[in-house]
């Protein structure tokens, strides 16, 4: 099937990718991914379970591997604009696959709750995401000359990406600091987070993640980046709604004005 780049493999996988993202969007409305203390149990969490740190590192590693391999197979791998996006990508996935899991504070005595099924689903996404973007940047995309740096799509996208990434990392750090560096088993596992984006929404970390992939999609301007934006939004918007409901059920004093994910709207 040839409809976007003219390359049969790429164009066919893009159709498969968008069909997969539609499936994820629909299924996430009925139940969120089985990982973490709040959602790692229940019917969707059958089978092998891993600890949080291991689960995250294992799931996200293809993000650090597939993209550079495909990137350097392309003829334009030595051009400034693709190299800039390589740097953004490696920065983003070094945080997601290594830094964030290493810093994570695990409640002592908590049982392994990261489902192997979630890791495998994550691999499928990251293989497609890495291939789509790297192949487009160095093989199929024709817009990535040095002039792209002065294109408004690049500049606006970069600003949105930086805002989203900063919100994500700041919100992750507020959540992390709700637990002591070596948490005591007597401490409650979950507390109400305050400050930063939590002033407006229950899941500013997810809002930041969606904004960062929106910015990335605008700055690279290709459908491969829209694929991961669809996957991320399809997964995280329903998860934020489940998390919001969970907080209201478990904390009587949960701030009433807080929305789930989009300030003032949702």
Ligand X SMILES: NC(=O)c1ccc[n+]([C@@H]2O[C@H](COP(=O)([O-])OP(=O)(O)OC[C@H]3O[C@@H](n4cnc5c(N)ncnc54)[C@H](OP(=O)(O)O)[C@@H]3O)[C@@H](O)[C@H]2O)c1
Under the rule (CB under 6 A), what is the footprint of ligand X?
A: 36-38, 52, 104, 107, 110, 168, 172, 175, 178-179, 189-191, 193, 205-206, 209, 231-232, 235-236
Number of Cα atoms under 13 Å in the Cβ half of residue 263: 10
The H or E element containing residue 50 is: strand 49-50
In this complex, which beta carbon is closest to ligand X, that of residue 37 or of residue 68?
Answer: 37
The H or E element containing residue 139 is: none
Q: Supply the minimum distance, in Å, between the C-beta of residue 14 and ligand X.
A: 18
Q: Supply the minimum distance, in Å, between the C-beta of residue 104 and ligand X.
A: 5
Spatial separation of the C-alpha atoms in residues 160 and 239, rounded to whole Å: 22
Neighbours of 29 (CB within 10 A): 13
* Contact between residue 129 and residue 232 where contact means Cβ atoms under 8 Å apart: no
Q: Which two tokens stand for residue 144?
A: 């990535």
In this complex, which beta carbon is closest to ligand X, that of residue 33 or of residue 81?
Answer: 33
In this complex, which beta carbon is closest to ligand X, that of residue 31 or of residue 36?
Answer: 36
**Closest C-alpha to 36, from 150, 205, 156, 149:** 205
Q: Which residues pair with 201 in a beta bridge?
A: 259
Q: Supply the minimum distance, in Å, between the C-beta of residue 186 and ligand X.
A: 15
Neighbours of 146 (CB within 10 A): 9
Q: Supply the minimum distance, in Å, between the C-beta of residue 84 and ligand X.
A: 21
Q: Supply the minimum distance, in Å, between the C-beta of residue 85 and ligand X.
A: 17
In this complex, which beta carbon is closest to ligand X, that of residue 66 or of residue 175?
Answer: 175
Q: Supply the minimum distance, in Å, between the C-beta of residue 37 and ligand X.
A: 4
Q: What is the DSSP letter of 179?
A: S
Strand extents, DSSP E, 46-139: 49-50, 114-115
In this complex, which beta carbon is closest to ligand X, that of residue 50 or of residue 86?
Answer: 50
Residues in the chain: 266
Q: Which two tokens stand for residue 250?
A: 């478990």
In this complex, which beta carbon is closest to ligand X, that of residue 10 or of residue 206?
Answer: 206
């Amino acid at each position: 099937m040839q409809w976007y780049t003219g390359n049969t493999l790429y164009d066919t996988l893009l159709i498969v990718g968008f069909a997969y993202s539609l499936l994820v969007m629909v299924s996430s409305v009925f139940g969120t991914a089985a990982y973490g203390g709040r959602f790692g149990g229940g019917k969707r969490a059958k089978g092998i379970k891993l600890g949080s740190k291991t689960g995250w590192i294992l799931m996200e590693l293809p993000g650090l591997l597939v993209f550079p391999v495909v990137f350097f197979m392309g003829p334009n791998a030595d051009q400034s604009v693709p190299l800039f996006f390589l740097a953004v990508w490696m920065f983003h996935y070094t945080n997601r696959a290594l830094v964030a899991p290493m810093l994570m504070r695990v409640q002592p005595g908590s049982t392994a709750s990261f489902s192997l099924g979630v890791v495998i689903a994550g691999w499928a996404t990251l293989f497609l995401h890495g291939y789509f973007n790297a192949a487009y940047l160095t093989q199929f995309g024709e817009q990535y000359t040095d002039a792209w740096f002065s294109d408004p799509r690049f500049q606006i996208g970069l600003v949105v990406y930086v805002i989203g990434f900063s919100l994500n990392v700041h919100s992750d750090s507020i959540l992390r600091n709700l637990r002591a560096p070596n948490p005591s088993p007597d401490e409650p596992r979950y507390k109400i987070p305050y400050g930063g984006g939590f002033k407006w929404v229950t899941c500013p970390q997810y809002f930041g993640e969606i904004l960062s992939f929106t910015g990335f999609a605008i700055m690279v301007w290709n459908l491969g980046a829209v694929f991961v934006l669809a996957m991320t939004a399809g997964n995280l918007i329903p998860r934020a709604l489940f998390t919001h409901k969970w907080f209201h059920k478990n904390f009587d004093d949960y701030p009433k004005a807080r929305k789930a994910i989009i300030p003032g709207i949702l």
